[in-house]
Structure 1
Amino acid sequence: MQQQLRSFMTPNVYTVNETQSVQEAAALMSEHSIGAIPVTNNNGQIVGMVTDRDITLRSTAQGEASETPVSQVMTAQKIVQGTPDMDVHQAAQLMAEQQIRRLPVVENGQIVGMVALGDLAVNSQLGNEAGQALSSISTPSDPQQ
C-alpha cells in the first residue's frame, strides 16, 4: 500500500526570501528550533536551502557581516524536492541517495511542506528505511560536489 508524503510532511514551513539577511534566517531558526529553511524568490518558488551549518561555515566562520544576504550562503544547486503525492518509501530512498536529512515538498512550484528524516523514523513501518537513509547520509560525500 502506497503511503503519500503528504501524510508525513510538516505543512507549515517557515521560509526566507533570498534577499533576507543571514541574521534573519538564523533568528527564525532559533525561534522555531529548526536547522534548515527553504529559500524562496519573490514569486514564492524555492531557489535554495539554508542550514545552520551553511550559516556557520559560509558566513560566521568567514567573518562575514550579519547583513550578508541568504543568497550568498544558501545551497542553490540541485535542490532535491518531493511532491505531496510521492510515495514515502521513494522519498526515503531519495533522501538516502542524495545524502539529505530534510526534503522540501513542492506542488505547483510552491513549497507546501517539509519532511525530515525524523518524521520518517517515528513511523514503525519506515523505521528501517529511515535508519538506512541515515546510514547513507552519514557516509562522507565526495568533497568535489
Structure 2
Amino acid sequence: MHQQLRNIMTSNVFTINENQSVQEAAAIMSEHNIGSIPVVNDNGQMTGIVTDRDITLRATAQGEQAQTPISQVMTAQQIVQATPDMDADQAAQLMAQQQIRRLPVVENGQVVGMVALGDLAVDHQFDDEAEQALSSISTPSKPQK
C-alpha cells in the first residue's frame, strides 16, 4: 500500500506574498527554521518558491537591498509541485529527478502542504524512497587540493 502525501506532508505551511521583501522572507525562514517558502499572489495562488539559496545568490551576492521584492529573486518558472494524492514513492522520484529537497503540495492552485526529504526519511516505511532521492540529489563533496 502506498502512502499519499496528504498523510505525511506538513500542512502548516508558511507562504509569502510576491510583493513582500527579501528581508521579510529571510525573517520568516529564520523564525521558523525553514529553508524555502512558497510564494503566492493576492488570490493565494502559488506563483513561485523562494529558498535561502535564492536569497543568498540572487539578492545578497548581487548587492540587492533588503526591501527587494521576492518576485525578483524567486523561482517562478517550472515550479515543481506535488498533489495531495501523490504517493511517497512518486514524490521521492520527482524530488530525485528535479534535484530538490522540498516539494510544495498544491491543490487547485493553493498551497496545502510541503513535503521535505526528511518527511520521507522519518517514517521507516519510506527509507528506500528517501535514500533513493537523497542519493540522486546530493553529490558528496571532495576536499579541494
Quote the Cα distance in structure 2 between the aligned partners of 1:48 and 1:109.
Answer: 11
Gapped runs of 5+ residues in structure 2? 141-145
Q: Which residue of 2 aligns with 1:108?
A: 108
1:138 aligns with 2:120: no
Q: Percent identity?
A: 77
Let me know the Cα RMSD of the aligned residues.
1.1
Q: Deviations over 1:113-143 (max 9, x none)?
A: 0000000011112112111101111249xxx
State the distance in 2 between where 1:132 and 1:86 align: 17
Question: 3-state DSSP class of the match of 1:79?
Answer: coil
Query: Residue 88 of structure 2 contacts residue 129 of structure 2 at CA under 8 Å; is this kept in 1?
Result: no
Partner in structure 1 of residue 28 of structure 2? 28
CA deviation profile, 1:8-61 (whole Å, cap 9, x unmatched):
100010000001000000000000000000000111111111001110111111
Q: 1:126 maps to what in 2?
A: 126
1:125 counterpart SS class: helix
Paired amino acid for 2:135:
S
TM-superposed CA distance for 1:2, in Å, is 2.0
Task: Extract structure 1 runs of 4+ deviating beyond 2 A.
Answer: none
**Distance in 2 between the 1:121 and 1:74 partners?**
27
Q: Residue 106 of structure 2: SS of its match in structure 1?
A: strand
If the length of structure 1 is used for normalisation, what is the TM-score?
0.93
Distance 1:103 1:28 in 2: 18
Residue 57 of structure 2 corresponds to 57
Distance 1:122 1:12 in 2: 18
Distance 1:76 1:49 in 2: 7
**Structure 1 match to 2:143:** none
Provide the C-alpha distance between the structure 1 equivalents of 2:43 and 2:100, rounded to a whole number of angstroms. Answer: 25
Q: Residue 96 of structure 2 contacts residue 133 of structure 2 at CA under 8 Å; is this kept in 1?
A: yes
Q: Say which SS state the counterpart of residue 97 (structure 1) adopts.
A: helix
Query: What TM-score does the superposition give when structure 2 sets the normalisation length?
Result: 0.93
> 1:60 & 1:20 partners in 2: Cα distance?
16
Structure 1: stretches of 5+ with no match in the other structure: 141-145
1-side partners of 2:136 and 2:41: how far apart?
Answer: 31
Residue of structure 2 equivalent to 1:12? 12
